[in-house]
Amino acid sequence: MRLEEVNPRVEIGKGRSGIVFRSTDSGGNDSAVKVFAGENSLTKLVNYLFTGAPNPYSWSEDALRCAHLRRDVLSTLVPYWFGSHVRIANSLGTGWNDGAKSNEMQTEYIRGRCAALHQPFSRETDGN
């Protein structure tokens, strides 16, 4: 029996590097699982031109471990830098997704909103 069958996943987001799912375990605890298999053709082309390879998180176990450890370091530094205004979702683990034939990372699920990206037309969100 596959993990996805035990803990059904609901898609909650999609970006250039992957798809994020929300998963609930048998104890009712939520987590977010990012499967690094969402690259479109343009993103792959840009990655090949500039780095010579597709998104390393999708295929390199070392790159994925580095991302996991980076979250561990940032979970200590971000509260020091920003107090309670910003929080990093702790990484709970990494693994291989057979269905997507790609790596994935499981993190704690945080209810909240994304930080607004600052750009020339974002004056309405400044300070929020």
Inter-residue contact 36 to 55 (CB < 8 Å):
yes
- 98-112 exposure pattern, b = at least 16 Cβ within 10 A, e = fewer: eeeebbbbbbbbeee
Of the pLDDT bands very low, low, confident and very high (cuts 50, 70, 90), residue 55 is: confident
Distance CA 70, CA 66 (A): 6
Biggest CA pair distance of the chain:
50
Compute the C-alpha angle 8/27/70, nearest 5°: 75
Distance CA 108, CA 1 (A): 23
User: Which residues contact residue 97 at a Cβ distance below 8 angstroms, ignoring those fewer than 6 apart?
Assistant: 35, 37, 103, 104
Mean pLDDT, range 83-95, rounded to an integer: 90
Domain count, the chain: 1
Q: What is the pLDDT of residues 60-87, one digit of tens each?
A: 999 999 999 999 999 999 999 999 888 8
Q: What is the pLDDT of residues 1-40, one digit of tens each?
A: 344 445 679 999 888 788 999 999 888 889 999 999 866 6
- CATH (domain of 17): 3.30.200.20
Is 47 a member of any domain?
yes
Provide the residue range defining the domain that includes 15.
3-109
Is 115 a member of any domain?
no
